[in-house]
Structure 1
Amino acid sequence: MEPAGANTNRVSGEFPDTSFFAIGFSHHRTILSKIKDTNERIFYIRRCADEKYSHEELIASIARDDYHHQGSLPNNFLQTLPAEEQAFRAISTFKDEYLLDYINVEELGIRDKQDADERMLENAIIHNIKNFILTFGKDFAFVRNQYHLDAFGEDQYIDLLFFNRELNCLVAVELKTGKFKPSYLGQLQSYLSILDGFERKPHENPSIGLILCKDMNKSFVDYVIQDYAKPMGVATYKTSKDMSAELRKALPNIDDLRKLLDGSDDNGWKFYPSVTTPSAFS
């Protein structure tokens, strides 16, 4: 059995004939010229076919180094999810780092990144929720922000709540603008307990939690998270100001991504504005 943080995409195996013939020549040329490792090439071939990537999206995926970020977040999924297959699927769903290139701290009126609070970050994500889902991955549907949990007379609020069709479970995301703290895990575990006890449908899998913070010591997080009973992972994020000029240049134009998202659901997921809060796009 692989460790909880293992990258499950780095596997050898049968050559993906179907995926190979499903993508264009320009995709193959870029993969061959930029990627040397065979397993990594297979990963991007499959990614292009599964996600129906344009050539620009492939270049952006390589620039983000998705191969090494996919499935490498600190987590306890193997210990806490009832089925091993479900655990590995969850591991491969989340990255250890997300690039929120559409969030500009200057536009939020934040002069010092350290002064940014979670609510300002949350509002920026809500106003760009389609782009956030594209960053997050396919099969995510947005439920709402500040999701109210009312149990035992205690009011609690989840920053962002999603449903993942592939995992068939609710996904609670907590936003933290500073470095990871162990206390965040306790808070998230309580949210997951209430979700599973009061919100989860009988046919759904156990809810999963993700802490999205600015920085973390991965070895430390991977060690302490194993003692928690609810399935959780911890990832970091970067905003536009944190990215190098080279990476910003490689990422596709956000207006082009909006047109793609508004025009079709070819990427394999759907956005449901009807389940957002009325003020989400005000």
Structure 2
Amino acid sequence: MEKVSPFYNEAVQQIKSAILESQLESAKAVNRQMLSLYYAIGRFVSENSREGTWGTSAINTISAQLRQELPGLRGFSSSNIKNMRLFYESWQPALNRSPTANDLENAENGPKSPKISIFALLDINRQPLADDLDFSEFLSLSFTHHMEILLKTSSLKERAFYIHQAVINHWDKYTLRNYLKADLFHHQGQMPNNFALTMPKTLHAQKAIAMFKDEYLLDFINVEEIDERNPQDIDERIVENSIVQNVKNFILTFGKDFTYVGHQIHLEKLDHDMWVDLLFFNRELQSLVVVELKKGDFKPSYLGQLAAYMRVLNDDERKTNENPVIGIILCQNADKPYVEYLLQDYNQPMGVATYKVMPEKLKAVLPDEKMLFEAMRKQP
């Protein structure tokens, strides 16, 4: 094969990119049309089978005749036509729709004999009721994916969650099915993270998401040293030293199955020195977990620094039987949507959590831990 010059290679890559983009947009358009058709058929079947004059075997008869008149037709078995009805009935109450010419025409024909229009779904000119559901994501997800979600969820918020995750993470139906089975929605943590995107094993990602909190109360930190400072500008080293001195308490706060490896771990790569604040190993996740402590608000640069540490740990420290390193930024404040947005560009499992310390005044009014334990033991 003749070698292409760099000049022409650039042109080839641009044309190739345009072709792939066009193919993607064409596929999306086809999917939107298909969803709209199924929604419209679902509406037609619902209005005739639920309150209309159709008999109990009507759907079976219609399916058989469709396949007879259109040889090779796929996707119109009686069970799939019932799925179209479910698709319409599940989403119709949640969609805000303004009357269109097609709706008015259908109304004139009466509810018993509606006219099917494939624009029934595409003509929606307002967002669905769910604030966290992007309608473009709704239309880009395949009907098979939609049915997996509808058959295994019970609320609009839950549906919106799986639609969003399936689209942004490019889940195939089997991956989606695994996350539905693992009940990811009800076990998800609140910490901004990219675990579902970066961990190929569904169960491993689900465990990691459930493992970490979005905020930790570090009530064992020596706040006497902090009181003299701006509470929004806590020295990272004070926090780190307090964690090291109270590592057992920190592990109990952080979660289960953590083992302390060390602090200020020295890494060296290509003549560059790095120092990891805190390093743990989690038996449940079978992963090293690196924790970087930061004062004040979250900054995008923290993710780059953490990614560098994780790269070296994965290359030089991780055992062959261990899962990839997990990284956590622990800072005082973080804007969750902003963090989640930035995490999409990182291919290593990372999350950002916040921490708070307990002022001495609040500590003073809390009961002594030993006294509280004794009181609980005396309860009948």
Equivalents in 2 of 1:228, 1:110: separation in Å?
38
How many Å apart are 1:10 and its aligned residue?
2.7
How many Å apart are 1:110 and its aligned residue?
3.9
Equivalents in 1 of 2:302, 2:321: separation in Å?
28
**Paired letter, 2:253:** T
Residue 205 in 1 paired to residue 332 in 2?
no
How many Å apart are 1:8 and its aligned residue?
4.0
How many Å apart are 1:241 and its aligned residue?
2.3
Structure (1 or 2) with the greater helix fraction: 2
Which is bigger in relative contact order (C-alpha 8 A, separation at least 6)?
Answer: 1
Match of 2:337 among 213, 219, 235: 219
How many Å apart are 1:254 and its aligned residue?
5.2
CA RMSD in angstroms comes to 2.9
Structure 2: gaps of 5 or more residues? 1-160, 166-178, 374-380
TM-score, normalising length from structure 2?
0.47
Secondary structure at 1:181's aligned position in 2? coil
TM-score, normalising length from structure 1?
0.63
How many Å apart are 1:222 and its aligned residue?
1.0
Check whether the contact 1:145–1:161 (CA below 8 A) recurs between aligned residues. yes
How many Å apart are 1:112 and its aligned residue?
2.4
Equivalents in 2 of 1:204, 1:210: separation in Å?
18
Secondary structure at 2:344's aligned position in 1? helix
Match of 2:248 in 1: 130
Change (3 A) 1:9 1:257: farther
Secondary structure at 1:113's aligned position in 2? coil
Aligned residues: 195
**Paired letter, 1:217:** D
Match of 1:195 in 2: 313
Structure (1 or 2) with the greater strand fraction: 1
Residue 76 in 1 paired to residue 194 in 2?
yes
How many Å apart are 1:253 and its aligned residue?
4.6
Secondary structure at 1:101's aligned position in 2? coil
Match of 1:96 in 2: 214
Structure 1: gaps of 5 or more residues? 12-69, 259-282
Check whether the contact 2:292–2:306 (CA below 8 A) recurs between aligned residues. yes
**Paired letter, 1:162:** F
Check whether the contact 1:105–1:111 (CA below 8 A) recurs between aligned residues. no
Match of 1:10 among 182, 186, 197: 186
Secondary structure at 1:79's aligned position in 2? helix
Equivalents in 2 of 1:76, 1:186: separation in Å?
14
How many Å apart are 1:113 and its aligned residue?
2.0
How many Å apart are 1:239 and its aligned residue?
0.3
For 1:202-281, what aligned pairs fall within 5 Å after superposition?
A: 202-241=320-359, 245=362, 249=366, 253=368
Question: Rg larger in 1 or in 2?
Answer: 2
Change (3 A) 1:106 1:195: same
